Chain A
Amino acid sequence: MGERILMKGNEVIAEAALRAGCRHYFGYPITPQTEVAHYMAKKMEQLGGTFVQAESELAAINMVYGAASAGVRAMTSSSSPGISLKQEGISYSAGSELPMVIIDIVRCGPGLGGILPAQCDYFQMVKGGGHGDYRLPVLAPCSVQEMYELVVEAFNIADKYRNPVVVMGDGYLGQMMEAVTFRDEEPIYKADKSGWAACGSKMERPHHTITSIYIEADVLEAHNQKLQKKYAEIKANETRVEEFNCEGADIIVTAYGTISRIVKNVIKDAEKEGIKVGLIRPITLWPFPSESYAKYADKVKSFLCVEMSSGQMIEDVKLAVNGRNEVKFYGRTGGNVPSQNEILEQVRAIAAAK
């Protein structure tokens, strides 16, 4: 383990990608994630890697598509409106089974919205966004240290399953500085891409094709079934969650990213008032850690889902709880963040009811 270094979340994303062996970055400027590109522009030139400031978000994701086709570790980063533009390329990448990492530092919407932090991209990242029946693992860090670890992990998951992987953080995570400790050596999953990468046949093998088009119904259905099988595997192997203080809790609050940390403060406040609160923090938003909710569904008085949105993750929470308990919601939008006091008020109200 190295020393603790003070770094900004966005810079840590870039550093983590470099440590994971990514030498190909393609992006387009958008607040609040531009520091990723700044860092990459400098480092890639020094390391002899590729940094391209693309003409558009569409071009950037398609450059990643090209680089991933060639078999190298590649990534792009953007923020909400930029991710909307990338969705076409993301769907194609999922269809063509290309490993890549996509960073979304979420800002508030809809439309041009604002640049302040938000979690309103849950639907577009977790539920699709692009066309077709596909799934993307979505990793949701809550600290700068975790951003580092999950970006490295994202490359591994991408390579292991030949699938695009998303790391999604709210604007605060990108902008804040915290201490980060880097490992001396990264745990890198070494994928053998020689069986499919389009990198030149050297006339030694049949030619490789990277494609997402299958005109015949049965062929495309078989392709879809293959994808679904892969998604089931990811679900079985890659679901990640933090359960904090949940045993014996009266109320379970669920939140991800920055909000989960505010909830931890609320837990301390509530404890002083004799209210036992637990936290379920999904680290993977897809696959969603449904079992954690099911486990406590009959044990707690109520669930409270807190988001920087009008209520998106709550749909998955409700599916997980499956009608066995009530799931209340508290959210703020527009770049406002649910405050510790506001969440505590919600907790008090639930505790006082009945």
Chain B
Amino acid sequence: MMHEIILAGFGGQGILSMGKFIAMAGLEEGKNISWLPSYGPEMRGGTANCNVIVADEEVGSPIVNKATAIIVMNQPSLEKFEHYLVPGGVVILDSSLVPVMPKRDDVEVYAIPATKMAYDLGNATFAGIILLGKLLEVTGVVTRESFEKALYKILPQKKHGMIPEEMAALEKGAKY
């Protein structure tokens, strides 16, 4: 199985970190992985995206050509990456920020008001984690246990206290 995932949104939403969590969790599971960011000035206030591949087999191109899932956190990202999806692919979008739904009718769409939910939880930065919760739930790309381990590995020590809350947010996304 090869999961080819595109995560996209505005710079500052934590898109690249979300990708890293998935990649690190994949690594925890002994999978083959790659994480490829968009880089450069476009990141600053513009759009940011990254390609993450988690696979049992060898990863060929690190550039996602046919996405099995996309997570989008703004409207331009949906318009840009919708057509990368394979038929039956998964779109997980933040409906607080993406008012217009996908045009394609051959994909599974999960619209979650993640930003609003994150505000309700008292931490706006949880929006991405909420969306990742749904990704884990519907694609099974990595387990929650591996994801939690990845958080401990990637986040600096001083943020480890937050991880239980992050996992709760992940759960909220999964169950939405």
- Chain A contacts to B: CB under 8 angstroms: 4, 6, 31-32, 114-116, 171-172, 175-179, 258, 261-262, 264-265, 268, 337, 339-341
A178 CA / B23 CA spacing, docked (Å): 8
Knowing that A258-B61, A340-B63 are A-B contacts, what are 9 other residue pairs whose CB atoms are under 8 Å apart, sorted by A's residue number? Answer: A6-B20, A6-B23, A175-B37, A176-B35, A179-B32, A179-B33, A258-B63, A265-B65, A340-B65
Are B61 and A175 closer than 8 Å at their CB atoms? Answer: no
Q: How near does chain B come to A107, taking the closest CB pair, in angstroms? A: 9
Residue in A31, A114, A116, A262 whose CB lies within 8 Å of B63: A262
Assess whether B60 is interfacial by the CB under 8 Å rule.
Answer: yes
Q: List 18 A-B contacts (CB under 8 A).
A: A31-B40, A32-B39, A115-B40, A116-B40, A172-B63, A176-B34, A177-B20, A178-B33, A178-B59, A179-B32, A258-B62, A261-B59, A261-B60, A262-B61, A262-B63, A264-B60, A265-B60, A339-B63
User: Is A341 in contact with B35, judged by CB distance below 8 angstroms?
Assistant: no
Contacts of A171 in B (CB 8 A): 39
Task: Specify the main secondary structure of chain A where it touches its partner.
Answer: mixed
Q: How far is the CB of B32 from chain A (nearest CB, A)?
A: 7
CA distance A172 to B39 in the complex (A): 9
From A114, A116, A176, contact of B62 by CB (8 A) = A176
What sequence of 0s and 1s flags, for each residue 53-75 of chain B, a beta carbon within 8 Å of any chain A beta carbon?
A: 00000011111011000000000
Docked complex Cα distance between A115 and B37 (Å): 13
Contacts of A264 on B, CB cut-off 8 Å? Answer: 60-61
How far is A264 from B57 in the complex, measured between Cα atoms in Å?
A: 13
B142 shortest CB reach to chain A, Å:
13
Shortest CB-to-CB span from A336 to chain B, Å, is 11
Closest to B33 in A: A179
3 cross-chain pairs, A with B, having the tightest CB-CB distances, nearest first: A340-B65, A177-B35, A262-B61
Instruction: Choose from A32, A175, A339 the contact partner of B65 (Cβ within 8 Å).
Output: A339
Q: Is B61 in contact with A265, judged by CB distance below 8 angstroms?
A: yes
Taken together as a complex, chains A and B put the C-alpha atoms of A261 and B51 apart, in Å, by: 15
Given the contacts A32-B39, A115-B40, A176-B34, A6 and B62 also touching, CB distance less than 8 Å: no
- Please tell me which one of the listed residues A6, A114, A116, A258 contacts residue B27 in the complex, with CB atoms under 8 A apart: A6
Chain B interfacial positions (CB closer than 8 Å to A): 20, 23-24, 27, 30, 32-37, 39-41, 59-63, 65-66
CA of A337 to CA of B62, assembled, Å: 12
Residue among B33, B34, B41 facing the most chain A CB atoms (10 A cut-off): B34
Cα-based distance from A6 to B66 in the complex (angstroms): 24
Q: Are B32 and A261 in contact (CB under 8 A)?
A: no
Task: Please give the distance in Å from B149's CB to the nearest CB on chain A.
Answer: 12
On whether the beta carbons of B62 and A261 are closer than 8 Å, the reply is: yes
Q: Which of B23, B36, B39, B63 contacts A115 (CB 8 A)?
A: B39
Query: A116 CA to B36 CA in the complex, in Å?
Result: 13
Q: Please, which residues of chain B bring their CB within 8 A of the CB of A265? A: 60-61, 65
Minimum CB–CB distance for B102 against chain A, Å:
21
Q: Give A78 Cβ to nearest chain B Cβ, in Å.
A: 16
Contact partner, A177, options B23, B32, B65, Cβ 8 Å = B23
Assuming A6-B23, A115-B39, is B63 touching A177 (CB within 8 A)? no
Q: Could you tell me if A176 and B37 are in contact, using CB atoms closer than 8 angstroms?
A: yes
Whether A178 contacts B39 by the Cβ 8 Å rule is no
Q: Please, how many angstroms separate the alpha-carbon atoms of A176 and B60 in the complex? A: 13
CB atoms of B60 and A6 under 8 A apart? no
> With the chains together, A172 CA to B34 CA distance in Å?
11
**Chain B residues with CB under 8 A of A341:** 65
> Which residue in B33, B34, B39, B60 is a CB contact (below 8 Å) of A262?
B60
Q: Is the CB of B61 within 8 A of A6?
A: no
Assembly CA distance A178 to B172 (angstroms): 30
Residue of B nearest to A337 (CB): B63
Q: Is the CB of B60 within 8 A of A177?
A: no
Residue from the list A175, A179, A340 in contact with B36, Cβ < 8 A: A175
Can you name the residue of chain A whose Cβ is closest to the Cβ of B20?
A: A177
A114 to B39, CA, bound (A): 11
Bound-complex Cα distance A257 to B66 (A) = 21
- Report the bound CA distance from A176 to B27 in whole Å: 15
Minimum CB–CB distance from A278 to chain B (whole Å) comes to 15
B residues less than 8 Å from A4 (CB atoms): 27, 30
Q: Please give, as numbers and ranges, the residues of chain B lying within 8 Å of A177 by CB-CB distance.
A: 20, 23, 34-36
Q: Chain B residue with minimal CB distance to A262?
A: B61
Bound CA–CA A163/B21 (angstroms) = 41
